Amino acid sequence: MKKTILNASLACIMLFTITSSSKTPEKPLKEIPPSNELINSKDSGETEIRDSLITSDDSLAIKIKDYITSEYLKPEDLRVIDAAERKFNLYQIDLNNDGKKEIFINFFTPYFCGSGGCSLALLDSNLKLINKFTVTRTPITVDSKTENGWKVVWLQDGNSWKILTSKNGKYPSNPSLLKSTKEVPESNAVKLFDATTQKTYSF
């Protein structure tokens, strides 16, 4: 009797062992691919993850790219600008306190720069041109002071500063012609295009 019970117990143990070892392993969790791979992914779930990684600046940069190539630059300019020179930074800031952000575009590559500085553009929130700037050095400093309804823009010139004030909704286009001042911006002023990690976009 004891032998029969022992044999039955051994049979149960062997059956359990065989069943456990033949069980299909659990499927590992799917890894999220890097963001550069998500761009080419056709999976709808991964597309949502990709879209969540796109910032408002990235979306705006796509529109600015179209503006630069279709309105700002002439076809003959585009033909001679090398791909490596087609770069820009952007910065959004409300300059006239209307609740809408204007957009500075900084063209910083050698094609757009000279010994005195680089070219910049200022657009309104509808991507309409407000100003073209030549020979302008960044960073651009903006504090709370206003003149004629627009914030004062400061550019550093050595140990001095140059002040750009708006007249009739436009700033001086060539800051190099302005006289320097010993005045200084507020200590909590915002600096545009000062970060070393400033994001770069192509057009």
- For range 25-36, the mean pLDDT: 40
- Cα 68 to Cα 63: distance, rounded to the nearest angstrom: 9
Upper half-sphere CA count for residue 58 (Cβ side, 13 Å): 6
Is residue 88 within 8 A of residue 138, CB to CB? The reply is no
- For range 31-41, the mean pLDDT: 36
Higher-confidence position of 20 and 67: 67
Q: pLDDT tens, 107-118?
A: 999 999 999 999
Q: pLDDT tens, 138-175?
A: 999 999 999 999 999 999 998 999 999 999 999 999 99
- Cα 24 to Cα 71: distance, rounded to the nearest angstrom: 61
- Cα 197 to Cα 178: distance, rounded to the nearest angstrom: 30
Q: Using the Cα atoms of residue 156, residue 158, residue 161 and residue 162 in order, give the sign of their dihedral.
A: negative
Q: Which residues contact 108 (CB under 8 A, 6 or more apart)?
A: 87, 88, 89, 118, 138, 193
What is the SS3 assignment for 47?
helix
Q: pLDDT tens, 172-193?
A: 999 999 999 999 999 999 999 9
